[in-house]
Structure 1
Amino acid sequence: MPANYQKEKHVAYVTISNPNKGNILDRATSDDISEIWKTIWEDKDVRVAILTGEGDRHFCAGHNLAPPPGITEEERERIRTESIFWPLSGTVNGAKIGADGRLGDHYPQIWKPVIGAINGWAAGAGFYLMLTSTDIRIACDEHAQFKFALLSQGWVGGGPGATFLTRQIAHADAMKILLTDEPFDAKEALRINLINEVVPHNELMSRAESIAEHISSLPPLAVRMMKEFSIRFKDIPVTEAWRVQTLINSLLTQLTTDGDEGRLAFNEKRSPNFTGGIRQKAEAFPELTPTDREHLEQSRRELLG
C-alpha cells in the first residue's frame, strides 16, 4: 500500500511509502491517507499520531501532476476550469474537509495531536501536508528540505497552504518562502519557527516517539479538546475565545473521569492514571433552602471572586 498504518499502544504511525516516486500524493496514496485519518479519529485508543515518509530522501515530494488514466489533458483542463464555477457538492473550494479530507493534505481536521517526522524533502503538496496536518514538527538535519514549489510552476495553489503558512510564521519569513519559491534546509526552518527541532537522521523517529509517548500519558480528552480549541477559535476575539475555553474546561472537569483524576493525584502526591473515561448522566442537584443557598453563594464568592 502507498501509505502504511500501524498502532503501538496509544500511538499511531502513518508512513507515506512510495519512496521510488518521492512519496508523492497520487490518488491511491491520498485515498490511503484519508482512510488512515478516519481510522485514527474513530479509534478512541489512539491518542497521538506520527506522520513520516519512507526512506531518507523524501517526506513527500508533492502531487502526481499527470492526468489520471483514461482522462485526456483536454478533459482535465475543462474539468478544472468548470470546477471554478461548479465545485463538487459537499466540498470547500472543491476539496473535502473533515477526518477523511480528500487528498489527505487538504485540511483533514484531525483533532488529535500529529507529530511530523520530516525525514526528507517536503515540497508542494508535501509542504501542504506538513502545514495542514502536523502540530509538532521534528526535522532530520541531513536530509530535510522544504519548498512551497508552486509559484515557480506558475501557480499560487488551489489549497489553503499559503494561508496556513502566513498564520504559522512571521510575515517576512512567510513572504520570502512564497515569493521566491526557493528551497531551504532544516536549520532555516527552525530559525523561522516552521519546525520545533532538528535532530540527526538516526534520532528522528526516536525523538518523535519520545514526544508521542509523553503526550499519550496526558488526559486524552483534554489533549484533543485543547487542539481543537486552539485551532478552531484562534481567529475570534479574546473575550469570546475565553468564554468558549471556560465552557470546554467545565465539560472536561464535570463530564470526564480525568477531570477528577488529575486533581486527586495531585492532592495524593501520586502519578495520575488518565483513561479518557466519560461520566454517566447523573441526577440533578437537590433544591436548596434559602439558608443553604445564602451559604453556598457566600462560598462561591470566596472561591471564584
Structure 2
Amino acid sequence: MKRVTIYSIANELGVSASTVSRAFSRPDLVKPSVREQILRTAQELGYAPNRAARGLATGRTGLYGLMVPDITNPFFPPLVRAVQHASARYDADVVLTDSKGSASAEEDLVRRIRPQVDGLIIASPRLPGTRVKELLRGVPSVVVNRSVRGVPTVVVDNSRALQEAARHLQELGHRRFALLRGPGGSWAAMRRTEAIRSWSAEESVELVEIGPLEARFLDGRASAQEVVASGATAVFAFDDQMAAGVIAGLNDLGEQVPRDRSIVGCDDVLLAQTMTPGLSTITAPFADLGFEAVELLHRLIAGETVKDVTLRGELAIRGTVGPAPN
C-alpha cells in the first residue's frame, strides 16, 4: 500500500504541498475552511504528520512543555486538560512535568525540558520571580496563576468575588471571620489574603488569620480546632481542598456546616461540586486559563509581542453558607 504524503493530499485537493504543510505546522497562516478540508482529507487517507521530519524543516518540535507543582492537587488536572485541548488547535502535543512543590526541582525540570519543546507554560511556580525570569530567558514562556514581572502571565483575580462572598456573609449576620491563609510565598495566597484584609478593614467586622497553611485536606482538618477557638462564625479557606478539610475537622468536633459555621473555598474544583453539602466557593475559569496560556505561547513562538491576561473568578453560593448562629 502506497504511503500517504502531503503531496498525496495536495493532489487530492488541488492545492500546493506547501499549503498542506502549513495546515499542520502553521495553521494560523491557512484559511480555516481550507485547513478543515485538508485535515478531513488527511484523516480519510490515513495520513499522520511526521514530527521529526517537520522539526528538521521548521526548527520546531510541535511540543509545548507544561509544568505544574502538584498534579494531585485538584486545581491542576482541569488546567492540564484545558491546555491540551487548546494546544491541539495548533497540532501541538503537551509534555507534562510535576515539580512536586519543590523550587529546586522546578529549576532542574526547566533546564531538562526546554531544549525539547517549542515553549513552556509554568503553573504556580515556587521559585522567586527574578529566578523564574532568569530561568526562562531565551525560550518562549508563559506563567499561569502567578504574576512574574518580565514574563507573560495569565492569572485569575478573585478579589472582587471574595469580597462579594464576604458581603453576602455579612448580610447573613456574620461579624467575626477566620481567614485560613495558603502556602507561604504563594502569589495566589497573598492576593486572596489582601482581598479579605482590605474588605475587613473597611467594615465593622473582626478578622482572625490562621496560617500560612499548605493547600491540603489534612492541613485544613487540623486547623478546625483553631477555627473553633477563634470564635469566627464564617471561614474563608485558601482553596477547596483546605475548606473540605475544615468541614471534616469541624464534624469531628461535633459541629455542622452551615448550622454552626459557614465555609467558603476557592477554585471550584470537582470536589467542591460533588461534596455534601455543596461547597460555596469562587469559580476559576479553567478552560479560559488554558486557552489564554496556549494563545499567548503560540504568539510568542511566532515572534509576536503579547500582553498579560487577567481573568475573573465568580462567586458560587452553595450549601456551606448560612445565617450566623444565634
Quick check: TM above 0.5? Answer: no
Q: TM-score, normalised by structure 2?
A: 0.22
RCO greater where, 1 or 2, for CA within 8 Å and sep 6 or more? Answer: 2
Give the TM-score normalised by structure 1: 0.23
